[in-house]
């Protein structure tokens, strides 16, 4: 029986640093840069480290037990004067056109599977994906990388090629701002600054976003050994506060429109976190025989490594499907089987690698799809 998951939010006190993988050794002139938010394996390591510390801050957990802790995340949570709301990576099947000068909002277009005409150069088993009709607008270069759940839900509920009655405010900047800092090396013998030994770090200000937006990092885990309060994490061991409590209220179950679409045999799978599959960019091995990928929209793969603390060596490189990737699925089985397929995998990892599942790779959301392949317009 699966252990119940506990929910935690990490509220930044200092600018947080989650290294982007570039070499950094503190040498004069070097700079440590941060990703906008942590990768799943980074957050899993942070949570396991927190769970393994006793009341005195000393590690007292068996490493094998720590590696067995399941952590799902990251889930970003935005909070302002209007309340708290989950934030998700922008879905890759949403194409936002460049806003007109002075426009206050923009309506996203939807990418859908197309029927390749006879004699086309399309190859492979997957259908091409594009707008159902040509658009004269250029893609918006500054399109928001994060969507509020109140934007994403209607996008997931609409099955057809026409975008739902959804407009995004042009000024809705949900980015997590950077804060550079200059540091000086301290001579341990004298306690004085070492001459010319300057280096820089660029952290992310989760507590001071655009407008009055504050962002925290949410996770779910099956361990009960995490203690609330202030602790250190990430690069430079910056301070943050651990707060227990649900942050996915209203997101815990699939919308009814999505379940109805699943019963008809067609859904979209949207990645809330990057996914690992032994098939590389092919998610089919992680889905098995219950569903068939017939089309997909994804950006460039994310390549990650890391440090293996057990074997004291770098981890092998892994290519990940980026968060926000969308997969158009045809479901098999009965209507009840298809409905259960979505219910069982909602906010759960979709991967064929047990370690990746424990680290929270491939957390899935689902959207409705009408199952149609549209003629390719020219």
Q: What is the pLDDT of residues 122-166, one digit of tens each?
A: 656 899 999 988 888 888 888 899 999 999 999 999 998 876 778
Highest mean pLDDT among 41-50, 117-126, 205-214: 41-50
Angstrom distances, CA of residue 80 to CA of 52, 177, 246: 33, 16, 17
The answer on pLDDT for 168 being more than 90 is: no
What's the mean pLDDT in 94-111?
89
The Cβ of residue 354 has, within 10 Å, a number of other Cβ atoms equal to: 9
Q: Report the alpha-carbon distance of residue 274 to residue 40 in Å, rounded.
A: 8
Residue 37, pLDDT score: 93
Residue 356, pLDDT score: 95
Tens digit of each residue's pLDDT (9 = 90 or more) over 198-247? 778 888 999 876 667 899 999 999 999 999 999 999 887 899 999 999 99
What's the mean pLDDT in 308-322?
85
Q: Report the alpha-carbon distance of residue 5 to residue 37 in Å, rounded.
A: 22
Angstrom distances, CA of residue 294 to CA of 215, 269, 272, 327: 36, 12, 20, 8
pLDDT higher at 260 or 302: 260
Highest mean pLDDT among 14-18, 77-81, 291-295, 310-314: 291-295
What residues contact residue 50 under an 8 Å CB cut-off, 6+ apart? 226, 227, 231, 233, 242
What's the mean pLDDT in 26-34?
71
Phi, psi for residue 325 in degrees, rounded to 5: -60, 145
Residue percentage of the chain with pLDDT more than 90: 58
Residue 75 pairs in a beta bridge with 218
1 — pLDDT class (breaks 50, 70, 90): very low
Q: Report the alpha-carbon distance of residue 43 to residue 46 in Å, rounded.
A: 5
What's the mean pLDDT in 163-177?
81
Residue 87, pLDDT score: 96
Query: By three-state DSSP, how is residue 269 classified?
Result: strand
What residues contact residue 116 under an 8 Å CB cut-off, 6+ apart? 122, 127, 128, 376
pLDDT higher at 271 or 197: 271
The answer on pLDDT for 23 being more than 70 is: no
∠ CA 41-142-145 to the nearest 5 degrees?
Answer: 25
Query: By three-state DSSP, how is residue 37 classified?
Result: coil
E strand map for 154-265: 168-169, 178-186, 193-204, 214-221, 229-233, 238-244
Structure tokens that stand for 168 in this block: 């995004």
pLDDT higher at 148 or 2: 148
89 — pLDDT class (breaks 50, 70, 90): very high
Q: What's domain 96-172+253-378's architecture? A: Sandwich (2.60)
Query: In angstroms, how far is the first alpha carbon of the chain from the final one?
Result: 54
């Amino acid at each position: 029986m699966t252990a119940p998951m506990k929910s935690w939010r990490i509220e930044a006190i200092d600018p947080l640093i989650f290294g982007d993988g570039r070499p950094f050794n503190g040498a004069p002139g070097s700079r440590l840069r941060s990703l906008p938010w942590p990768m799943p394996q980074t957050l899993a390591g942070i949570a396991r480290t927190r769970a393994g510390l006793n009341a005195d801050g000393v590690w007292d957990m068996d490493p094998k037990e720590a590696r067995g802790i399941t952590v799902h995340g990251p889930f970003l949570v935005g909070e302002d004067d209007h309340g708290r709301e989950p934030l998700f990576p922008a879905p890759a099947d949403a194409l936002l056109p460049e806003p007109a000068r002075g426009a206050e909002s923009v309506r996203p277009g939807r990418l859908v599977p197309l029927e390749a005409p006879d004699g086309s150069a399309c190859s492979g088993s997957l259908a091409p994906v594009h707008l159902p009709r040509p658009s004269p607008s250029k893609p918006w270069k500054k399109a928001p990388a994060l969507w509020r759940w109140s934007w994403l839900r209607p996008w997931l509920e609409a099955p057809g090629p026409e975008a739902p009655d959804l407009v995004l405010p042009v000024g809705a900047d949900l980015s997590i701002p950077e804060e550079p800092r200059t540091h000086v090396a301290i001579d341990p013998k004298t306690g004085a600054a070492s001459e010319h030994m300057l280096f820089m770090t660029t952290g992310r200000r989760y507590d001071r976003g655009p407008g009055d937006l504050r962002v925290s990092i949410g996770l779910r885990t099956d361990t009960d050994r995490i203690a609330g309060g202030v602790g250190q994490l990430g690069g430079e061991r910056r301070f943050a506060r651990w707060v227990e409590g649900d942050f996915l209220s209203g997101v815990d179950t699939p919308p009814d429109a999505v379940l109805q679409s699943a019963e008809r045999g067609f859904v979209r799978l949207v990645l809330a976190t990057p996914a690992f599959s032994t098939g590389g960019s092919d998610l089919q091995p992680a889905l098995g025989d219950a569903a068939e990928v017939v089309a997909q929209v994804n950006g460039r793969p994310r390549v990650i490594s890391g440090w293996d603390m057990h074997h004291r060596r770098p981890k092998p490189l892994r290519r990940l499907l980026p968060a926000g990737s969308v997969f158009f699925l045809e479901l098999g089985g009965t209507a009840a089987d298809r409905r259960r397929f979505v219910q069982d995998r909602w906010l759960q990892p979709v991967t064929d690698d047990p370690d990746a599942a424990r680290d929270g790779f491939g957390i899935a959301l689902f959207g409705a799809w009408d199952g149609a392949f549209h003629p390719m317009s020219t």
